[in-house]
Amino acid sequence: MPPITEHVVLRDLDVPNIADLDVYIQHEGYEALRNAVKEKSPQDIINVVKDAGLRGRGGAGFPAGVKWGFLPKDVYPRYLCCNADESEPGTFNNHQIIDRNPHQLIEGVALAAYAIECQKAFIYIRGEFAAGALRLEKAIADATARGFLGKNVFGTNTSIEIIVHRGAGAYICGEETALLESLEGKVGHPRLKPPFPAVAGLYGKPTIVNNVETLTNVPRIVLKGVEWYRKNGTEKSPGTKVFSLSGHVNKPGNYEVPFGVTMRELIYDYAGGMRDDKKVKIIVPGGASSAWLTEANLDVAMDYESLAAAGTMLGSGGIIILDETVSAVELAYKMDEFFKHESCGKCTPCREGTHYLVKTLHKFTHGGAVKNDINKLHDVYNQMAGNCFCLLGESAVVPIRTALRLFPEEFEAALAKSPARHAIPLTLAH
Amino acid sequence: MPDVNLIIDGQAVSVPAGTNLVDAARTVEVAIPVFCYHPKLKPVGMCRMCLVEVYTARIDPATRQVVMGPDGLPQLALMMNKLQPACVTPVSEGMVVKTTTEKVKFAQRGVLEFLLTSHPLDCPVCDKGGECPLQNLTMQWGPEVSRFDYSDKVHFEKPIKLSDVIYLDRERCILCSRCVRFQDDIAGDEVLGFDNRGRSWEIISKSEPGFDSKFSGNTTDICPVGALTNADFRFRSRVWEVRSTPSICTHCSVGCNLSLDARHNSLMRVMPRENDDVNEIWLCDKGRMGMRFVESATRVTTPLVRQHGKLVAASWDEALTRIASNLSQIAAKGNGQVAGMMSDSASNEDLYAFRKLITDTFQSTSLDHRPGAVTDVAIDEAIITAGVGMGTSLLSLGKGTAVVVLAADVEEEAPLYVLRLRGIKNRGGVVHVVNSFATKLGTSASSDTRIKAGSEAAYANAFLKLVLEAQVASGFDRRVRNLDDVRNQLSKLLLDTLLEHAGVSRAQLQKVVDAYMAASNAIIVYGRTALQIGASVTQTMANAAMATGKCGKANNGLIALTTGANTFGAVSLGVRPGKDGAAANEFWARAEAGTLRGLLVVGLNPAANNPAAVEGLQTIAKHGFLAVQTMFMNETAELADVVLPQMAIAETDGTITNAERRVQRFRIAMAAPAAMHPTWQVCAQIAERATVATPASKNATAVLSNWNYAVTSDVTDEVAQNNPRYAGVTYTSLDLSINSWGRQANESVYYDGTSYTNTEGNGVQLKTVADDAGAALTVVYSPPVEFEPKGEFGLLMQTPVRAYNGGTWSIDSKLGSRQVAAHVLISSADASRWNISAGDAITVASPIGSSTLPAQIDKNIAAGHVLMPDVAGAPVHLALGAYTRVAIRRAE
């Protein structure tokens, strides 16, 4: 697939210093918003985004325009939350957008807010992105000073206030209901669904939660139109996607490509191929929560449908590519250790299950595993799968399940290397 | 709404829409195991113990239509293609639920094993052992062995104190959050929270002092493990060793049902007992931990008689004979020179016998249930006429209900009503609070109107005025008498003047009136301040209920939060001044005048904090005869000629009548520490001896035969016979039980360690006058009383109730640190005006004296308003009524 001629999201690559408000304005900045609030109805914006087929980049891939249409009629105030809690391992495109193209994100937030008739929008930003938060705040202040935000946007009756709220460092707050809890000042625990946020979200009011990349697409779609946007990508996954490539590739980084490029193209054409020309062993295609692929899947097209057909998902677009030097057991251990660390503790299978997955995997990586431990791993993840309160626990199942499915021999081999069980000192406490 | 039909484990189930699967399954005795779910709390679906297979009609994704099978019925598909938590899954038509499939068992076994692997399994030393849902569920649903290492247990310092009375063992905690949710949703004290995450997630107290709630003990009940335990019961006993006796709490007018758990005649613990019409399954901490006085070593255990100026031990016979002969002699002089006063927390039987002794044997109508302070409260006839109607159940109330709480601090006066009134609001009703100072209930009420100190009667009259105006359109209750007079008198009061006096806007009042008028069920609650002010508040509010027909039927009327646990019993059984008789606060003057020479005091301590009473009692003891029956020596007993030991409620039986006029029975839980007799027996013994000694008694034989009681229920039966209001109230009728909470499947989860199920009777509610269709309801105009500060006494002082008042109940109680020390609350404005800082000693002067005590500053109090909580050691004798004009200054 030919590369894109013009960036939709990572426009900082086309326009140096686009983070600067004046530069942004010189390059069509805030024109979409101006046209919208002056000449278009909120429904017009929803329609164009719906027709463009913009899908949520946070992981689920749900069409953004359709989501906006779910809000119950005549219930106000409504809230918009931009999910900038980018914490999925291997994912770093939001970071680049916030740092280098903040105004396009802010304009996207404002457009979405206008579309759903919300006067107060929040950007919930990952706590560690301190510089990004400051940058956003400054950008918002700059835009407000010009009358692009705040009261009477562009002299109209529309008011859009954007508040930047920093998280406190919990992965679970990227889950939309936990994000809302955290935004309300509570412990970031996921909420029971239904009701979904669109019906009862922030402070019990109708709320839309959208990802940074999703919203950053919006100004370009509104300004340039459906046809322009659909130039790239596939019928069901239109547009471009920023993939974050990391791992054993020669040129890790963010690459904005049309949906539908193959994994092989991404690795070899964009990311400069594999380090030391080693073979691809494991591909984690969409963040730690996605099922792994192998070399056999290199020709999979990078769009929502093709990846689903391959038994995994596009997820956050954070692709981790690992070569044959990596042990599948080690990788499963590391990933589940992450989930264990981030488990909020609300539901039993996740809180205790992640602990026992890690505990058992530790025996495979550090010695002490016995044959029955493989069955134990199968049992534990099966007792978690489908049984957890939110997707965090479900995600923790994925690495160990795919590792055991794709590389069973490595677990068997770890058994052989394990010292006999009696050699492990029994402790009652530690 | 029509019921929803579904199939659970092959059985057809039909339940109301909105029912969750756990509750639906229980109706056909299918037990779905739960930990975090509790029928009294909103389900949250976090423990994942209740996972089941749920099948619903298969929907074709393309057409969004139900796919029909070859048999013409909808095809079924596993909902969301995974197990569903039953507690948060509502029933839907045609649903098929399977709770025992291999897939379900595998998941449930997993959850239980996960829980157990981090649980310490220290059952042998755990208070919950034996009534622990985790133990029970493990037996039925758990795996036999664990796949995990014992070394994987979580370890925490154990236990930590959340408060002086509640301990948290974080190792045992399974993180179901029942305690947090109880505090947030039911108690309204949001003092518990979470800290950390994952396996380190833990419950913490967010308040200072820790776990600052009057309902904290309930969390130890609903805790499904032994993570929360209370100081009152920790390590006292194994739960299977105790013998439980049904009883009633006598600390306030709610009348909570409880169970006294004793082992070897020693009280181990107090547990709530289910009664949906009273306390549901809850108990306040005062009720739970305020029973230790029963076993106090300082109890009076033997009769004492005065010899050579000193009280010395004597036999019961000697003591009773002395009382009988002395009081007989005084009574023989005629003119009602004998008087009696008895606590209104005593049983109906004791109160009835006492009334009979004083009026029949000693021929006096000077009888009272109050301690004889200037501030004694009058129980208005209006509350007997228009109290809350027969069949009232606050638990059934929600949408369409309005509660107006006027001049009451519900949490301090009758704590459990906070839970019950909040429940009404949580279920969709409205609760409007109107008070002169901030109250806890007000913070979670639909509206919280702050009126000026002393303006309660003005507010009540303004309320009545608007209510009557609103009622004109739909007409008045035909049974109402004297309405024209009331309307005529009210028309002379200017609404604006009343509103200005109360410091309330028309809109604020209108909101409350509108809610009251619009409600299909309306209840007015008033408390001590209203009762102290009297008819101008209580009768006026009753007028509103009577004129609008919002009384005399279930779930409507008035509830008075009386001081005693059985004030209704005392009043309705005649322990109050009769014709020509004196009220208790008139006794002292009569003593000085020489017209009162004999006094029998039961369960009261009039001498406490009342110099006038002390003088009167001294005079009676000096020139006449003073007999006291008491559990503990006190200022009054010290002056007595004879002191008799009194039994505690745990040691005797009888009935008491609560604020909603529900008569309830309590039983003998343990033997008294020494030979003692219940008061009704003491009265009979005195009467028997008195008839012999009193020639003046006009009808000696008849009186004697009347005292022929063998057991307490003989008195109960006589009460029912002689008092139409109590007709039909017998031990048998009181013992009828309705288990409204439901006792189907899974009771080991809902009941174990929680509330005791009620198999011993829900009690019987007495009729109000208004319950009779033909009764005349007389409304009476009661003009607003004015409390105007003037001259040197420029502030208005109130003496509000405090639950933790340091009373008898607090003896040996673990709630010691929560007792409120005597102090005065003043406004910030007055503090700066008199240059007073928090903690400063200040002198409070009223027209009858002055006293010095520490000040506290409350920014919520209006300038000119002073609160002196009525607690042990507070100089409440300075008060002259609901409001007293006082002056304050820094003590030198």
Question: Which tens digit of pLDDT belongs to each residue from B641-697?
Answer: 999 999 999 999 999 999 999 999 999 999 999 999 999 999 999 999 986 444 444
Q: Do A430 and B88 touch (CB under 8 A)?
A: no
Domain B152-295: give its CATH code: 3.30.70.20
Closest chain B CA to residue A188? B197
- Spatial neighbors of B209 by CB under 8 A, at least 6 apart, are B163, B164, B817, B818
Three-state helix/strand/coil letters over A182-218? HHCCCCCCCCCCCCCCCCCCHHHCCEEEEEHHHHHHH
Query: What average pLDDT is seen over chain B?
Result: 93
Helix (H, G, I), strand (E, B) or coil at B633: coil
Strands of B16-127 (E only): list them: 51-57, 76-78, 84-85, 96-98
Q: Where are the domains of chain B?
A: 3-111, 152-295, 304-377+568-645+677-709, 388-561, 795-890
Give residue-wise pLDDT tens across range B210-254. 999 999 999 999 999 999 999 999 999 999 999 999 999 999 999
The stretch B625-631 carries a mean pLDDT of 98
- Chain A nearest-CA residue for B174: A348
CB pair distance less than 8 Å for B152 and A359: yes
Q: Do B111 and A348 touch (CB under 8 A)?
A: yes
What is the reported pLDDT for B380? 66
CB contact under 8 A, B110 and A387: yes
The DSSP symbol for B182 reads I
CATH of domain B795-890: 2.40.40.20
Stretch B452-479: mean pLDDT: 94
CATH C-level class of A242-323: alpha beta
Residue A429 has pLDDT above 60, yes or no: no
Residues of chain B contacting A388 with CB distance shorter than 8 Å: 48
Q: Does B667 touch chain A (CB under 8 A)?
A: no
Closest CB to A349: pick one of B114, B175, B201: B114
pLDDT at B379 over 80: no
For residue A49, the model assigns a pLDDT of 97
Q: What is the pTM of this model?
A: 0.94
Which comes out higher in pLDDT, residue B522 or B146?
Answer: B522
What's the pLDDT at A138? 97
Q: B572: closest CA among B727, B450, B439?
A: B727
Closest by Cα among B828, B813, B810 to B871: B810
- Please count the other Cβ atoms lying within 10 Å of the Cβ belonging to residue B843: 17
ipTM of the complex: 0.92
Q: Does B48 touch chain A (CB under 8 A)?
A: yes
Work out the pLDDT band at B739, boundaries 50, 70, 90: low
Contact B290, B251 (CB under 8 A): yes
pLDDT tens digits, residue range A23-36?
Answer: 999 999 999 999 99
For A333-347, the pLDDT digits (tens) are 999 999 999 999 999
Count of CB atoms situated within 10 Å of the CB of A391: 16
pLDDT tens digits for B578-627? 988 999 999 999 999 999 999 999 999 999 989 999 999 999 999 999 99
At B333 the pLDDT is 87
| pLDDT score at A275 | 95
If you classify domain B388-561 with CATH, what class do you get?
Answer: alpha beta
| DSSP assignment string, B476-545 | --TTEESHHHHHHHHHTS-HHHHHHHHT--HHHHHHHHHHHHH-SEEEEEE-HHHHHH-HHHHHHHHHHH
Percent share of chain B, pLDDT over 90:
84
Strands A207-211 and A161-166: unpaired
* Cβ contact B331:B364 at 8 Å: yes
% of chain B with per-residue pLDDT over 70: 97
pLDDT of residue B1: 65
Question: Once rounded to an integer, what is the mean pLDDT over residues A313-331?
Answer: 96
- Closest approach of B44 to chain A, Cα-based (Å): 7
Which residues, in sequence order, are CB contacts of B530 under 8 Å at separation 6+? Answer: B406, B407, B408, B456, B537, B538, B541, B560
Q: CB within 8 A of B850, min separation 6: which ones?
A: B843, B844, B878
Could you give the count of Cα atoms lying within 13 Å of A175 in the half-sphere of its Cβ?
25
Q: Tell me the C-alpha distance between B147 and B236, whole Å.
A: 35
Quick check: A352 and B175 CB within 8 A? Answer: no
Residues forming beta bridges with residue B68, ordered by sequence position:
B74
Q: Read off the pLDDT of residues B263-281 as tens digits, 9 standing for 90 and up.
A: 999 999 999 999 999 999 9
Which of B45, B49, B198 lies nearest to residue A344, judging by beta carbons? Answer: B198
Q: Quickly state the pLDDT bin for B463 (edges 50, 70, 90).
A: very high
Looking at residue B374, what is its pLDDT?
85
Computed from CA positions of residues A57, A62, A64, A70, in that sequence, does the dihedral angle turn out positive or negative?
Answer: negative
> Measured between CB atoms, which of A348, A387, A427 is closest to B115?
A348
Is domain B3-111 classified as CATH 3.40.50.720? no
Contact A379 B117 (CB under 8 A): no
Cβ atoms B224, B176 nearer than 8 A = yes
Q: Does the distance separating the beta carbons of A387 and B48 come in below 8 Å?
A: yes
CATH class of A328-417: mainly alpha
B46, A346: Cβ pair inside 8 Å? yes
B32-66 pLDDT, tens digit per residue, is 999 999 999 999 999 999 999 999 988 888 888 88
Query: At the fourth CATH level, which superfamily is domain A11-230?
Result: NADH-ubiquinone oxidoreductase 51kDa subunit (3.40.50.11540)
What tens digit of pLDDT does each residue of B532-560 get? 999 999 999 999 999 999 999 999 999 99
pLDDT of residue A18: 96
Closest to B564 in 3D by CA, of B255, B234, B230, B115: B255
Q: Which fold has domain B304-377+568-645+677-709?
A: Rossmann fold (3.40.50)
Domain ranges, ordered by start, for chain A: 11-230, 242-323, 328-417
Q: Quote the minimal CA–CA distance from B145 to chain A in Å.
A: 13
d(CA A120, CA A183): 13
In sequence order, which ranges of A231-370 are alpha helices (DSSP H)? 263-264, 304-309, 328-342, 348-366
**Out of A151-155, B139-143, B843-847, least confident range:** B139-143
Q: B287-329, pLDDT tens digit by residue?
A: 999 999 999 999 999 999 999 999 999 999 999 999 999 999 9
Burial class (CB in 10 A: 0-12, 13-18, 19+), B742: middle
- Residue B757 pLDDT grade (very low, low, confident, very high; cuts 50, 70, 90): confident
pLDDT confidence bin for B750, thresholds 50/70/90 = confident
Contacts of B118 in chain A (CB under 8 A): 352, 355
pLDDT of residue A26: 97
**Tens of pLDDT, residues B76-133:** 999 989 999 999 999 999 999 999 999 999 999 999 999 998 899 999 999 999 999 9
Establish, for the pair of chains A and B, how many residue pairs have beta carbons separated by less than 8 Å: 104
